[in-house]
Structure 1
Amino acid sequence: MSKLSEIFNKEIDLIKNDENTLSIVLVGSSKNLDFEKDTKINDIDLFIFTKEQDEDQIRINKEISSIEFDLNYISKKGCEDFIDTKEYFFLKINDGKIIYDTDDYAKEILQKCKNVYDEGPEKTSEEIKRDMMLEIKSEIKKLISKDGFEDFEYDFFVNIALRDLIRMYYIKNDKWVPKDKKLIKSIKKDDKRIYDILKNKSFDKYEILVNIYDNINECP
């Protein structure tokens, strides 16, 4: 047994032995790894469904031998509430790996998550979309010149505008908005034109913003 596997199994046993635990689901990038073979891992994300607790969600981070465990404890009430309100962070666990389950509870919850996730997010009205695009356009116009900005300050505001633009792509197309750290990977898969503009070294930063804005604005 590898060191990683030993640490993982010990932590899972501790959680399983808690009588309040219903199910354990491995999520994130570590869910597809073989802990006996894949030893290069820094964090392990687990969702633990519980019978009851004071809050819908309790998040705990703990480190064991340089391995960080990100533990999300979700009550039965929390599971239902997060599904009913279409909480993206919760629905995304629908492809998680079930490590431990009581009476197929996790299996049922993950299926519900998948069904709701596949329905897509609540649609934003066309009027609100237009207002959001106008607001982003106004912010971009302020960046037409670097005058009045320090270099690091200008880059900071450009990056904020880029983040808002990519988020807007998903809102305008009635798609789930990815987490910030997944925005670039997601847009590479979902819209190659925008991704190519982002990495085009012949454009200056303002041109990148304008070109991406125009591409998003042309979306139906």
Structure 2
Amino acid sequence: MSIKNNDELIAQAVNEYEKSIVKILLLCVDNLEFGLGINKLVQILKGSQTKFITDFSLQNNIGFSLLKQFSKNDIEYIINILTQTEYLDKQVYKNGFGDIYKVGIKGYALLEKDLPLEVSFIDAITECDFIEFDSTEIMLYEKLRALRYQIAKENDYPAYAICGDLALRKMTKALPENQEEMLEIKGIGPSFVEKYADRFISVIKQFKFDE
């Protein structure tokens, strides 16, 4: 029996793992009788025993405690990524008091049709590798960080929802000059490439020209 390339097997396993996490989160949201904001969703998914949870019997939610292995920041990151990519839909509460989350178009398609997951986030929330830079690379990295912050501010997202630090470090090392090369960077997905890649590539090209 032939075995596929190890890298391909790992990639498939990671994708299925990410998909299972997303399904848990989507089912948690879909199971709610009323919309909730990000803090309350995190409480449910982490299995918090707060007064709000018990008062509204949210410990009976299908997703209760199923993502307790992740930190609050991790879950918030995943929620923001899913919102950005239309798996979740963030809506302004009718009285203008905060935001609530509903399952989005792609979210229902994923649950009902088991379509491929178009977003990746595990690398971003498990940034255990540290990539060292020389003095020149540090300058480029700071320019890319500044661009990420600018894009996040333009879209009202936290910076980490654009891309993780590890992906940004890999970008600094790889110096991609087109969208295809950008997509080869682990932690960079099609949504990022479509929306933001050209701006990052422009900074990289200008930096190389100025060297």
TM-score, normalization: structure 1?
A: 0.30
Structure having the higher Rg: 1
TM-score, normalization: structure 2?
A: 0.31
Higher helix share: 2
